[in-house]
Amino acid sequence: MKEIRKDVLTVKDIAYMMDPSVLKLDTSIKDVEAMVEACKKYDFGSCFCWPCYYPQLVELLKGTNTVFGTSLAFPSGQETTETKVYLAQEFEKLDPAEHDMVMNVGWLKAGQYDLVLEDIKAVREATKGKSLKVIIEAMVLSDEEIVKACELSLEGGADYVKTGTGFSAAPTNLHHVELIKETVGDRAKIKVAGGVRDLGTLLKMYKRGACRFGIGLQSAINIIEEAIAIGHDIDISTID
């Protein structure tokens, strides 16, 4: 997907950066349908749901400007590498725009870096030509572990480092975004997920280097309506 880095953001820009999701434990097809209706209304960039609904999501999104992404080993990351690869290959049959894989944070914390790297490389091989995001679950990592997770993601061929799944109790914060940006520079893009529930937070994280935002559907709607209500484009230089 095309990424947006601008000094002034329009409502359309903000909508495009948001990837709404319906990923609660009781998500039904009605939630997926509601998400697609919101995508039609606001032109969100991409959207996510549970894999069992991917075939329906593909059909529902036809004729919209929104694409869909897949989740591999979501939300724990502790599936086998073979499982992640198999899922990537199966999901590729539906021609998604991108894949989000969850890093095996247990391996990372145990210092089993070779396993982490092999895991990412195997999924990268299975998803050639598509955008790959590695979810590092920054909120359960130390600063040193975040840096290492970023380095392994880069070495494995990731296009993005993604802060989290949204399933951790703690949210992504500005320090996480700043540290990831300091580590990856322009070698990878940054997607934030977990804790972005208002426009102000989104804009602060955007200014610090994030360019995509994974957000629950209702929060995504609230944020874009907040942007619409402002009534004018937003100058990023005015954001703290």
* Tens digit of each residue's pLDDT (9 = 90 or more) over 179-224: 999 999 999 999 999 999 999 999 999 999 999 999 999 999 999 9
Catalytic hit among 133, 181, 191, 204: 191
Residue 162 falls in the annotated catalytic set: yes
204 flagged as catalytic: no
> Does 100 qualify as catalytic in the annotation?
yes
Let me know: does 70 contact 132? Beta carbons within 8 Å: no
Give the CATH superfamily of 28-189. Answer: Aldolase class I (3.20.20.70)
| pLDDT score of 2 more than 90 | no
pLDDT band at 4 (very low <50, low <70, confident <90, very high): confident
CA 47 to chain centre: 9
Q: Which one of 100, 119, 148, 181 is the catalytic residue? A: 100
Question: What pTM was computed for the model?
Answer: 0.96
Contact yes or no for 104/116 (Cβ under 8 A): yes
Sign of the CA dihedral running 222, 64, 93, 152:
negative
Q: From the CB of residue 86, how many other CB atoms can be counted at a distance below 10 Å?
A: 14
84, 130, 133, 162: the active-site residue:
162
Per residue in 146-176, pLDDT (tens digit) is: 999 999 999 999 999 999 999 998 999 999 9
Structural domain spans, the chain: 28-189
